[in-house]
Structure formats: structure tokens, C-alpha cells
Amino acid sequence: MTIDIEPFFQQQCAAWPSAGANYSALNAVQTKELMVGQVQYRVQYNPGRITSSASQVDAESIANRPCFLCTDHLPSEQQTLGTYGHGYGHTYHILLNPYPIFPRHLTIKHVEHTRQLIFPTAPERLLDMLEFAEELPGYTIFYNGAKCGASAPDHFHFQVGNRGFMSIESQWRKLSPMELASFRSGKSTVYVLLGDLFRRALIVEGSDAGGIFELTEKVMHGVWGNTPEEPPVNLLAWYEGGRYTLCIIPRAAHRPRCYYAKGNARLLSSPGAVDLGGLFVLPRQEDFEKITGRHLAQILSEVCLYADYDWKITYSRL
């Protein structure tokens, strides 16, 4: 079943003027392209994202603010597209994100106020994510772990944005065999993006959601071993031509050093799945103007985990 978001989108923009204005403003948003080695990134100057980029996500700040994803706290204009459950014990509502990065930007939130985590204790949420990817063709579903980009680490949610804006969706296929290690398990394959020097993402691909799920659990275990808490990770998933693609971006840090720097060294970048997928969102004009590929390389090298995944995955015996 395909979810048609267009009537809902139009209705929300009409009934909720501030959200509608934010989507109109997105038409005039400034962007530029930067290269990091052979990999292309896009940078977007988007002042509407300042609240998200600068949000306090420490436990005390989160405990002291009303949860903006709980139904009781939603603005009166914010409606729900529908209620979705996939048979894995979880139910979700789809909402319009009022501070868009994409021309169509949704939030898929759990109906209950329950922590942002998938691994290791709620892995079936990954199946929900893949199912949403199948139901929303033309879109990428993304997940920011609680420690790496989620501005609501206390309320489980995915986000949805149009495909075609994040370079990782297409660029990984252009890497040469030398730059791409691959391991096959059943009908699914995991690729380690060796040529993507500072990001080192992993891609799990296949036609069977159950196979992707099993292989992803093995990859997570291969990279991090047994962890009681969810390892810091960003996920992106999409579905095309009968195949699922899941991109796993292991993280080393929530924010780069430049986020905390003073004066001219400060660069307010708080990367999540979208940034690391290839679309860096900067809420301050001065940062947009000064950022170069060298800044991006530095940010990526600090926030992404660099490890010998190919070695670890080989030895975890897929």
C-alpha cells in the first residue's frame, strides 16, 4: 500500500500558516556544492533549522521541557495523516514537519512517549522503517539515534524527506570495486564504502526486508559487539525497483569541535542523518558563506566512526 501524502500536505500548509510559510521559504533557500575527495556534498542555508541545530538534548534539558511529539503538546493546527501499524507491535502517526529541509518533510512518530532506540532491544522498529520506505516511494526514511541528531531522544520517531537531495543515495554506486568491499549473506549484501574516506558508511541492500533486518543486526553486532545501549548511529532507508537499501552511518561524536568553538572558529553544524547523507544544513548565514570542503572533511572525521569494518564484519561470520 502506498501512502499518498499530497492532499495532507496541501491541507496542512493551508490550515497552518506558519508551516505553510516555512515551506514557501524553502523555494528560495540557498545551497552550494562542495567536494570532499571524490564525494559530493550539498550545503543548505536554512535559518528555520536553528532550533533543531542548537537544541539542548542532555537528560536534564529533555526532562524539563514538554515533549513536542506527544499528541497533547502538538500545535492545534497540526493534524495527523493517519495511524499506521505493521504487525510488529508498534503504532505510528504521520505528521508534517513544520521546519522543513525537504519540499515534503514528514515526521513519523510512535503513538506512545517511548525512547528513541532501535538496537538492541526494539529491533523490529527497523522492519517498520523498511515498510514505511516501501509505502513511501520517492522518499527516504531516516533515523537519528538518541545520541546523534535526534532533537526528541525521549520520543521514538523517524523522518521522511524527498529522494534526490542526499548524495549518498546515488553516489555509493559510483565507487569502484577497489573502493567498495562487499559481503553477501543469503539474498542480501552489505557494502562498506571504503572510498568514502571520512564517512565510511555501510550499505545493506536486497529484495527481502527480513534478510536486510537479519544482516543489519549482524553488521551492528560486528561493528560494536554486545552493547546494552544503542550504539550511536544514523540510518537512511529507501525502496526502489523491488529492492530495499539501508544506509548505516556509525557515529563517533554527536557534534564536531567547531560547534562549541568561539569567535570565527565557530561553525554551527549539528550533523544528523540528513547531513551525513550528503545535505549539510546550516542555520547561520556566516557559516554557509565560509564553509569549504576542508571544513566538511574535518567535521566528518570527528563525528563519524572510523574503523576497519570490513575486517570486523568478515570476522563476525555473516
Binding site for Zn ion (CB under 5 A): 67, 69-70, 113, 155
| Shortest distance in whole angstroms from residue 184 CB to Zn ion | 40
State the minimum distance, in angstroms, from the CB of residue 114 to Zn ion: 8
Minimum CB distance to Zn ion smaller for 68 or for 198: 68
Among residues 151 and 245, whose Cβ is nearest to Zn ion? 151
Question: Among residues 109 and 295, whose Cβ is nearest to Zn ion?
Answer: 109
Please say which residue, 69 or 246, places its beta carbon nearer to Zn ion: 69
C-beta separation of 251 from 169 below 8 A: no
Pick the closer one to Zn ion by CB: 156 or 238: 156
Residue nearest to Zn ion according to CB distances in the complex: 67
Residue 229 Cβ vs Zn ion, minimum distance, rounded to whole Å: 20
CB of 264 to Zn ion, least distance (A): 38
Query: Closest CB to Zn ion among 6 and 72?
Result: 72
Sheet-wide strand order for 105-110: 83-85, 91-96, 105-110, 157-162, 139-144, 233-240, 243-250, 202-206, 188-193, 180-185
Least separation in angstroms between residue 53's CB and Zn ion is 21
d(CA 6, CA 99): 17
Minimum separation from the CB atom of position 63 to Zn ion (A): 12
Calpha distance 126→99 (Å, rounded): 25
